[in-house]
Amino acid sequence: MSGKKKVALLYGGRSVEHGVSVNSARNILEFIDKDAFEPLPIGISQTGQWYLTQGVTKDIEQGKSLGLILDPKNAGLILLASGDRVKVDLIFPVLHGTDGEDGSIQGLIKAMDLPMVGTGVLGSSLSMNKVVAKRLLKESGVPVTKFITNNFREKKKIKFEEIEKALKLPFMVKSASLGSSVGVSKVSKKAGFKKALDEAFRYDDEVIFEEFITGREIECAVMGNNPPQASNPGEIVLKKNYDFYTFDAKYVDPDAVFIEVPAQLDKATIKLVREVSVKAYEVLRCEDFARVDLFLTKKGKVYVNEINTIPGFTNSSMFPMMWKERGVSFTELISKLINLALERYASGKRIERGFESALKF
Ligand SMILES: Nc1ncnc2c1ncn2[C@@H]1O[C@H](COP(=O)(O)OP(=O)(O)O)[C@@H](O)[C@H]1O
Ligand SMILES: [Mg+2]
């Protein structure tokens, strides 16, 4: 019997970031330490079906159909055609956005009582919702942009003039719970407002309006628990004349950005970014790892924009680059994340689930 831990790499998913997830998982499969772990690629199709696949592939549906066994004593996966069990020691969700990063899959894995890499249900759902995340960060003294929110029910009552008065022009309009800049617009005059609002409500029942911060886009990789550690900050430098870091600038146009790791910053700013990032990570109950995205103004003021609880692992992704700069190779990084998850799972066993009482039922 091999002593290797069987690590299920969950990828794809029902999200606008499906393709990014495939690229991330492909890299993890390539670089995972195969002397220590046995990776099992499990693709989730665009319609939400799970398959055991040959390698990480965009043709997920060519794989073998899988079902879940939820019984926590015997939890895991089963091949639907043969009824054979697929043994798994740990699940590594490499999913971005809806379903994969918002706590829903994390809840499923929790119900199965399997160890899982990354942030659990609470932190995933808090971090996914820009409104809830900003409220909590603000309340904890983490600097965030000025913002206003509305839900779909209030759509007819939303007035451009009121938002302009509160936030000044330009301002940002976003869906509350999306990623990859989908549903995000910059509004510089009244003419663009309706389109921006329709676009944001297209993907969510809740929108957020934010004061526009003119500044540099800084990111910081955080890893670990008790206490978490921060990398040196990196920077996304938009090369061309993009209004902001749009979907196309992120994934379509290869020349849109220039990534600088580490970012050219003075010592005091580096310290500030790292401290603020760790604080944000803790406030939002992140576990094992996350990437904190910030803005830095000319005057040296830092704002946390958002936290990504499953950041990209593609060739051009910041999270692995920022750890590489700290001397942690891609392979070591994956091993560290898996080991953090196993340690956290073991220490979670300390918590009693039952409670003895005289209650009759
Ligand atoms: N308040 C803001 N001020 C300036 N630029 C912003 C602001 N909010 C978002 N942006 C720009 O829009 C991009 C996407 O917004 P973000 O909130 O990060 O959404 P997503 O979750 O889709 O990445 C950011 O990377 C940045 O370029
Ligand atoms: Mg972002």
Domain layout of the chain by residue ranges = 5-116, 146-211, 216-348
Give pLDDT, residue 356. Answer: 77
Sign, Cα dihedral of 28, 14, 309, 65: negative
Pocket test for ligand 1, best of 180, 182, 217, 244 (most atoms within 8 A of CB): 244
Give pLDDT, residue 254. Answer: 86
Q: CATH fold of 216-348, please?
A: D-amino Acid Aminotransferase; Chain A, domain 1 (3.30.470)
Give pLDDT, residue 313. Answer: 94
DSSP collapsed to 3 states, 160-220: HHHHHHHHCCCEEEEECCCCCCCCCEEECCHHHHHHHHHHHHHHCCEEEEEECCCCEEEEE
Separation of CA 327 from chain center: 23
How distant, in Å, are the alpha carbons of 181, 187, 332 from that of 321?
A: 21, 32, 13
- For 118, list phi and psi in degrees, rounded to 5: 100, 180
Pocket test for ligand 1, best of 127, 128, 131, 172 (most atoms within 8 A of CB): 172
Q: Which ligand is nearest to the CA of 204?
A: 1
Query: Residue of the nearest CA to atom 25 in ligand 1?
Result: 245
Is the C-beta atom of 337 inside 6 A of ligand 1?
no
Instruction: Please give the distance, rounded to the nearest whole angstrom, from the Cα atom of residue 64 to the centre of ligand 2.
Output: 34
Instruction: Please give the distance, rounded to the nearest whole angstrom, from the Cα atom of residue 308 to the centre of ligand 2.
Output: 8
Architecture of domain 5-116: 3-Layer(aba) Sandwich (3.40)
Question: CA-to-CA distance for 187 and 197, rounded, in angstroms?
Answer: 10
Give pLDDT, residue 2. Answer: 61
Instruction: Please give the distance, rounded to the nearest whole angstrom, from the Cα atom of residue 306 to the centre of ligand 1.
Output: 8
What are all long-range contacts of 157-166, with beta carbons under 8 Å and residues at least 24 apart? Answer: 158/197, 160/190, 160/193, 163/209, 164/190
Name the residue with tokens 């330490």. Answer: 33
How distant, in Å, are the alpha carbons of 175, 357, 358 from that of 361?
A: 45, 11, 10
Instruction: Please give the distance, rounded to the nearest whole angstrom, from the Cα atom of residue 92 to the centre of ligand 1.
Output: 27
Is the C-beta atom of 174 inside 6 A of ligand 1?
yes
* Ligand 1 atom nearest 245 alpha carbon: 27
Is the C-beta atom of 175 inside 6 A of ligand 1?
no
Give pLDDT, residue 1. Answer: 52
Instruction: Please give the distance, rounded to the nearest whole angstrom, from the Cα atom of residue 131 to the centre of ligand 1.
Output: 13
Say if residues 232 and 322 touch (Cβ distance below 8 Å): yes
DSSP collapsed to 3 states, 236-270: EEECCCCCCCCHHHHHHCCCCEEEECCCCCCHHHH
* Ligand 1 atom nearest 183 alpha carbon: 22
Give pLDDT, residue 3. Answer: 86
Instruction: Please give the distance, rounded to the nearest whole angstrom, from the Cα atom of residue 156 to the centre of ligand 2.
Output: 28
Name the residue with tokens 């091993």. Answer: 335
The CATH number of 146-211 is 3.30.1490.20
Instruction: Please give the distance, rounded to the nearest whole angstrom, from the Cα atom of residue 305 to the centre of ligand 1.
Output: 7
- Tokens at residue 246, please? 């749009």
Instruction: Please give the distance, rounded to the nearest whole angstrom, from the Cα atom of residue 34 to the centre of ligand 1.
Output: 37
pLDDT digits (tens, 9 = 90+) for 178-235: 777 888 999 999 999 999 999 999 989 999 999 999 999 999 999 999 899 999 999 9
Instruction: Please give the distance, rounded to the nearest whole angstrom, from the Cα atom of residue 125 to the centre of ligand 2.
Output: 16
How distant, in Å, are the alpha carbons of 163, 167, 241 from that of 146?
A: 11, 7, 25
Q: Report the chain's terminal Cα–Cα distance, integer Å.
A: 44
Pocket test for ligand 1, best of 127, 239, 245, 294 (most atoms within 8 A of CB): 245
pLDDT digits (tens, 9 = 90+) for 87-122: 999 999 999 877 788 999 999 999 999 999 999 999
Pocket test for ligand 1, best of 131, 220, 305 (most atoms within 8 A of CB): 305
The set of residues, in sequence order, having a beta carbon less than 8 Å from that of 106 and lying 6+ positions away, is 93, 116, 118, 119, 120, 121, 124
Is the C-beta atom of 210 inside 6 A of ligand 1?
yes
Is the C-beta atom of 217 inside 6 A of ligand 1?
yes
Parts of the chain with a pLDDT under 50? none
| Mean per-residue pLDDT over the chain, rounded | 94
